[in-house]
Structure 1
Amino acid sequence: MFFQLLDDNPGFPDPALAEEDGLLAIGGDLSMERLLIAYSNGIFPWFSEGEPILWYSPHERCVIYPSKIKVSKSMRKILKQKVFEITFNQAFAEVIRNCATTERKGQDGTWITNEMQQAYINLHQQGYAHSVEVWQGGTLVGGLYGIKFNRVFCGESMFSHVSNSSKAALIFLSKMNIDLIDCQLPNDHLMSLGAEMISRELYLEMLQAP
């Protein structure tokens, strides 16, 4: 059973009450207050255009410990040769727009709606959401964005127009002052980079550690 959120109450039910697929609640809005409460409790929005807002808190979390990220020999060579220029928080709106418009194999449309983009741009403007940009020849070719909460970076999405550019963004992120990169849900690409599954309880413990 999932919960219907009230418009006048930005709070959420206990994440432990989420359904088997992680669905916890439906409705509400994407206000800054509600989003910050959500992320501080291991909850994130994920829905498609035309659907009501759906909020998830998976029972197991896909994460990457920065010290365990896998960097292949070929990738080390690319980084050493400085094939890419990598920046931080220099083009947040461009990154999220590219994440929304880049076609993905097996995915029809995007969950990063215009409303979602504006909500995270607002979070970025207030210092909560951040982006890593990967450039080649002055052109933005890859990147990622997410929310930093305490010492956890809650990754939202990444894109790549040039081979290895999103990997470069993730490796750059892993060298920042964080203890954990939250990937939310697993996929083959993330697992190949060293992602692993941890319990919600351990995730929340790390999320709420100062």
Structure 2
Amino acid sequence: MLPWLDPQPIRFPPVESALDEPNGLLAAGGGLSPEWLLSAYRRGIFPWYAEDQPILWWSPDPRMVLFPAEIRIRRSLAKRLRNAGFSVTFDRAFDSVIGACAAARDDDGTWIDDAMHEAYCRLHELGHAHSVEVWEGESLVGGLYGLSLGGVFFGESMFSRRPDASKIALVHLARHLETHDYTMIDCQMHTPHLASLGARDIARETFIDYLERSVDRVHPAPIWPRETP
């Protein structure tokens, strides 16, 4: 039987108790306050649910991650990075990015409902959640958002309104994180799209080990600029 989490105290079951099918489903209930979300991510757990479901918490095995130095830039993407005429910023339009990510999935159903949108905007206000924006002139054409804790960036969602715009956001993110010695980008679930960019599956046990060594790292100075060089 799936454990039901009370609003208080904040307490998750061990990730090893997550179901094999569906892969990684750990518990239901709890809340979306900053305290709940930060506690979850520190343990390798994230929320993901449909609009007609309670909050569901996941910790899949294996876990897809991207090590920043391993970002794969194919020739066509490298050309677009040089010649597409896009500009890239960090944290300039977080609310717009998360709204665009939700809208991009409306046809298939989205887990980014109003409660999730509000919860991650609150994390952004507190300095934990960040966005990467890709602009064509003054138009937002791509981007991504996620959480930064210590030396780990937990990717949540991305969108594109132009070919490769979300890939360009990810490349800029990976380069930025590599410069600041981040351990990895958590991609959560396996997708061929992310695998094509260099992400790979690792065992959940290995992922948790990385978290324990990296998530409490303190950076000596703020690392989230408004614009890339």
TM-score w.r.t. the length of structure 2 is: 0.88
The amino acid of 2:162's aligned partner reads V
Whole-angstrom distance in 2 between the partners of 1:83 and 1:203: 37
Counterpart residue identity of residue 189, structure 2: L
Q: Note the 1:162-201 alignment, pairs <5 A.
A: 162-176=162-176, 177=180, 178-201=182-205
Residue 134 of structure 2 corresponds to residue 130 of structure 1: no
Give the drift of 1:82. 5.4
Alignment of 1:30-69 (within 5 A): 30-69=32-71
Over the matched positions of the two proteins, sequence identity in percent amounts to 48
Long gaps (5+) in structure 2: 218-229
Return 5+ residue gaps in structure 1 as ranges.
none
Runs of 4+ in 1 over 6 A off after TM superposition: none
* SS of residue in 1 equivalent to 2:108: coil
CA distance in 2, matches of 1:19, 1:150: 28
Query: Deviation digits for residues 86-141 of structure 1, max 9, x if unmatched?
Result: 0001100000000000147xx62111001000000000000000000000021000
Indicate conservation of the 8 Å contact 1:26/1:52, yes or no. Answer: yes
CA–CA separation in structure 2 for the residues paired with 1:173 and 1:18: 30
- How far apart are residue 8 of structure 1 and its match? 1.6
Q: Secondary structure at the match of 1:63?
A: strand
Pick aligned residue for 1:206 from 203, 210, 227:
210
Q: Which is further off, 3-12 or 114-123? A: 3-12
| Paired letter, 1:14 | P
State TM-score, norm by structure 1: 0.95
CA RMSD of aligned residues (A): 1.2
Alignment size in residue pairs: 208
Between the aligned partners of 1:207 and 1:147, the Cα distance in structure 2 is 13
User: Does the residue aligned with 1:191 lie in a helix, a strand or coil?
Assistant: helix
Q: Describe how 1:137-156 pairs up with structure 2 within 5 A.
A: 137-156=137-156
CA distance, structure 1, for counterparts of residue 48 and residue 35 of structure 2:
17
Distance 1:103 1:10 in 2: 30
Matched, 1:19 2:23: no
Tell me which amino acid in the other structure corresponds to 1:80. Answer: R
* 2:44 aligned counterpart, secondary structure: coil
